[in-house]
Chain A
């Protein structure tokens, strides 16, 4: 269950339907205006505060479009949107957002919308829509057309939206104009949808390096959880952690001991990965550790006491990855510190111990009798010595 952003083009296409006249300009496509008049041309990649960043322009000629496009492409943007310009007064700009919360949909509304909405916090009213009758109540309180609210809420629910922000929103009688819309969808809903948003509409978060992108690709092929983020490529403390909660506790411990800036990476594997999957994941962690230019380096292989992730199997995968580069680890004086518990703990730990000792990269090893922070504490002692 992750909330992910979809393009403004797709969001409006779903909300407004066939009447929507925006044109998507995908990478490589031509960008001529379909007819005369004023148009809004903007970057459509889920960027916040586009207006302030100069990523929105009013254009009247195809050459304007080409000019802005070139400039934006230089900045690294590739996906754009053209919409007919709706002339309006700044005073007409309203703000509305919908978010799925425990008890229904939380609706925030202010008649004081536009780019400066954040400074208008005091004018924002909050409503919660639980059932069908609530849209009438909110329509009455906000003065927005009931039909519009009803339709938006229905679309929101049918298309597995999690968050929708329309700012500015312009209302003239029963006509409603969505000048800018941002939508987060629930990625778990994709399976249940046809003729709605799909994977191709999701804006990918920027992945800055090859190691992270390889782990992200690996994640797509498994039911286990594999996450990796490089924090400091020349760090001295590298983490091969397991478990979403336990991994933060271990990172916390390093931070509380004043070692935050030395942490090379954060990440975790959990949910019972196979030996092969653990191998592929561990290989990436070891890769960044070896590439770090820090003089003294430690690897912490640690995690809580697993419920069902098999220690023997996952440790076999880690040993596979370490043994490929064990001579380089030795050469760089890397020491490895271990704390882990779970199914087949005894065997897993004993295989790991004999491997680390045999390759002379042994730091310390502990099981479920030792505190969760045992390995990271020992690793920090080593780095300080």
Chain B
């Protein structure tokens, strides 16, 4: 199967390296208008953000962004076959090497940048050109109508996709050194009543990684291609390779060519034209010489551009499936300014009372509904719902002496309203109070992933003076276990595997060896089990769990039930109405040097 066949069969996933929003959008529009259900752009390698918003048709789509080629989750990376490099010429080489290292089975790359050093292009040729298609440097891209648009090729607005019939697969291959002329040729083929089988710009640089001759061989091997249309320029000698291919019968299909630059003959000395290579330094690099050589080999080489256009209409063509469509709706779409999702499905409100009687509700319905809202997806397992329900139950309150509850109550007694008092309590939640679940989850998850032992982890964190989140309790100790931890820990027995929980316990084993109070506490236990349950029962990947931790998901498991606890304390205070709270003076310690009537100095 040729590479073109593989593309037409759907091997079209693209990793975009660098950011060029209009090009990415045009690729998505091409996919949508080609009738694909899934966008070709799998992800974008660009720093600073996790996603960028684009349109897929009229709907908006968040395209995942990663900082480095190797950061892609396995679920996404499985689809990647191509890279589109839109970085600067300085960075192109390294990122392409990284790409082929991370995706050895990928098919190719298109390099948009000019200013890639010759030595880098030569090294890409040496390493990769034998089995990868690499268009560029300075290529506008690679188009397989209806299947793949790798780059700006063919245009970036939906009207160009429609008018250039980029979604309609035909029988004429288009090849060019010039990016602009690639598009001009595509349109010329369409205006001549034909359709394109594939189009590629090898790029205007001195050493295109995939050479012009490979483009011709690609056209020769492709059964769908009936003829090739080529645009070349003065400068360079690549056309003589084509002459050789024709002579050796390695390229046998009809060829119509235009070699630009006969104007150069009209000047006293050679002129440097637009592209770097477009300068004649030997006579055989002149447009005239190259035209003559191709003509001699049997190609149709037009003298003028209008003649070239009329030669196109005489080319053979296979039957095509052309359908008319409108792009009006794509031309008028407006991007939203804030991305969100539907948190609760209002159209599915359950009936609670039927025929004067209570409808029996689902078990753990509240916990399940909350978790589905937080995660944005359906919960599959009863274990998960039951676990959430259990946590919510246990974490409602932990007595009036904890700092968040104290702040709520003091604020309530200062005469403030519910929201103010509750806010005072919530604002207390942080690294030392209630915020440990998320931190602990991060430690357990990275511990399981890395090869670091529990001993090494404890040693490392101790050495840097950091307390291990999820470890240690004021009241409970090895010999007086926390009953809540025991209750939660029992969920581990419902799982086939519980790597985070195991790791947490192995850390506990090390820490309790130092002090009996350094046990796995309720925060640490919840953190470990929520990860294990989401992984096993809800099939979350490591990357997805990391994303949840980055978004502070685990802390919501504390905050949600604790709002209930704080509210209860608030109501209690309002009921009692004991007036403004003030700390009795004898409970304050005042430092010696600051005493108003200081003790005598020596």
| Interface, chain A (partner B; CB < 8 A) | 1-3, 100, 102-104, 157, 160, 162, 186-189, 191-192, 225, 227, 229, 231, 242-249, 251-256, 260-261, 263, 266, 268, 270-271, 303-308, 341-346, 368-369, 371-373
Q: Is the CB of B115 within 8 A of A188?
A: yes
Q: Is the CB of A249 within 8 A of B117?
A: no
Q: Is the CB of A255 within 8 A of B204?
A: no
Shortest beta-carbon distance from B348 to chain A in Å: 43
- Is B528's beta carbon under 8 Å from chain A? no
Between-chain CB contacts (< 8 Å), 18 pairs: A1-B206, A157-B119, A162-B118, A242-B180, A243-B181, A243-B184, A244-B274, A248-B261, A252-B305, A254-B263, A255-B266, A260-B263, A260-B267, A268-B274, A307-B154, A341-B183, A373-B304, A373-B306
Residues on B with beta carbons closer than 8 Å to the beta carbon of A103 = 125
Q: Is the CB of A245 within 8 A of B181?
A: yes
Q: Is the CB of A1 within 8 A of B205?
A: yes
Q: Is the CB of B178 within 8 A of A245?
A: yes
Interface string of B2-15 (1 = CB under 8 A from A): 00000000000000
Residues on B with beta carbons closer than 8 Å to the beta carbon of A368 = 163, 187
Q: Is the CB of A304 within 8 A of B304?
A: no
Residues on A with beta carbons closer than 8 Å to the beta carbon of B22 = 308, 343
Q: Which of A247, A255, A260, A342 contacts B160 (CB 8 A)?
A: A342
Residues on A with beta carbons closer than 8 Å to the beta carbon of B231 = 245
Q: Is the CB of B115 within 8 A of A249?
A: no
**CB closest chain-A residue, reference B238:** A102
**CB closest chain-B residue, reference A100:** B118
Shortest beta-carbon distance from A236 to chain B in Å: 15
Q: How far is the CA of A7 from the CA of B141 in the complex (A)?
A: 37
- Is B258's beta carbon under 8 Å from chain A? yes
Residues on B with beta carbons closer than 8 Å to the beta carbon of A343 = 22, 155-157, 160
Residues on B with beta carbons closer than 8 Å to the beta carbon of A248 = 233-234, 260-261, 263, 273-274, 278
Q: How far is the CA of A321 from the CA of B181 in the complex (A)?
A: 26
Residues on B with beta carbons closer than 8 Å to the beta carbon of A344 = 157
Interface string of B160-194 (1 = CB under 8 A from A): 10011000000000001111111110011001000
Shortest beta-carbon distance from A372 to chain B in Å: 6
Q: Which of B90, B179, B272, B305 contacts A307 (CB 8 A)?
A: B179
How many residues on B have C-beta within 8 angstroms of the other chain's C-beta atoms?
Answer: 68
Q: Is the CB of A255 within 8 A of B152?
A: no
Shortest beta-carbon distance from A309 to chain B in Å: 8
Known: A186-B119, A255-B266. A225 touches B274 (CB 8 A): yes
- Is B439's beta carbon under 8 Å from chain A? no
Shortest beta-carbon distance from A215 to chain B in Å: 13
**CB closest chain-B residue, reference A102:** B207
Known: A2-B276, A245-B233, A308-B22. A251 touches B263 (CB 8 A): yes
Q: How far is the CA of A253 from the CA of B233 in the complex (A)?
A: 14
**CB closest chain-B residue, reference A243:** B180
Q: Is the CB of B140 within 8 A of A307?
A: yes
Q: Which of A1, A192, A229, A255 contacts B137 (CB 8 A)?
A: A1
Q: Is the CB of B266 within 8 A of A244?
A: no
Q: How far is the CA of A255 from the CA of B272 in the complex (A)?
A: 16
**CB closest chain-A residue, reference B208:** A102
Shortest beta-carbon distance from A119 to chain B in Å: 17
Shortest beta-carbon distance from B366 to chain A in Å: 52
- Is B445's beta carbon under 8 Å from chain A? no
- Is B60's beta carbon under 8 Å from chain A? no
Q: Is the CB of B156 within 8 A of A189?
A: no
Residues on A with beta carbons closer than 8 Å to the beta carbon of B183 = 304-307, 341-342
Q: Which of A187, A227, A244 contacts B180 (CB 8 A)?
A: A244
Known: A256-B303, A308-B23, A343-B155. A247 touches B274 (CB 8 A): yes
Known: A100-B122, A343-B160. A306 touches B155 (CB 8 A): yes
Q: Which 6 pairs show the lowest CB-CB distances between chains A and B? A: A245-B178, A244-B274, A243-B180, A260-B266, A245-B181, A304-B184
Q: Is the CB of B140 within 8 A of A247?
A: no
**CB closest chain-B residue, reference A254:** B263
Within 8 A of A (CB), among B74-130: 89-90, 114-119, 121-122, 125
Q: Is the CB of B261 within 8 A of A305?
A: no
Shortest beta-carbon distance from B301 to chain A in Å: 13
- Is B499's beta carbon under 8 Å from chain A? no
Q: Is the CB of A160 within 8 A of B184?
A: no
Q: Is the CB of B274 within 8 A of A372?
A: no
Interface string of B243-262 (1 = CB under 8 A from A): 00000000000000010111
Residues on A with beta carbons closer than 8 Å to the beta carbon of B191 = 369
Residues on B with beta carbons closer than 8 Å to the beta carbon of A304 = 180-181, 183-184
Q: How far is the CA of A187 from the CA of B115 in the complex (A)?
A: 8
Q: Is the CB of B180 within 8 A of A1?
A: no
Known: A1-B206, A268-B274. A256 touches B140 (CB 8 A): no
Q: Is the CB of B266 within 8 A of A261?
A: yes
Residues on A with beta carbons closer than 8 Å to the beta carbon of B179 = 243-245, 307
Q: Is the CB of A229 within 8 A of B118?
A: no
Q: Is the CB of A188 within 8 A of B117?
A: yes
**CB closest chain-A residue, reference B22:** A308
Shortest beta-carbon distance from B237 to chain A in Å: 11
Q: Which of B117, B121, B267, B275 contacts A245 (CB 8 A)?
A: B275
**CB closest chain-B residue, reference A344:** B157
Shortest beta-carbon distance from A250 to chain B in Å: 8
Q: How far is the CA of A87 from the CA of B537 in the complex (A)?
A: 87
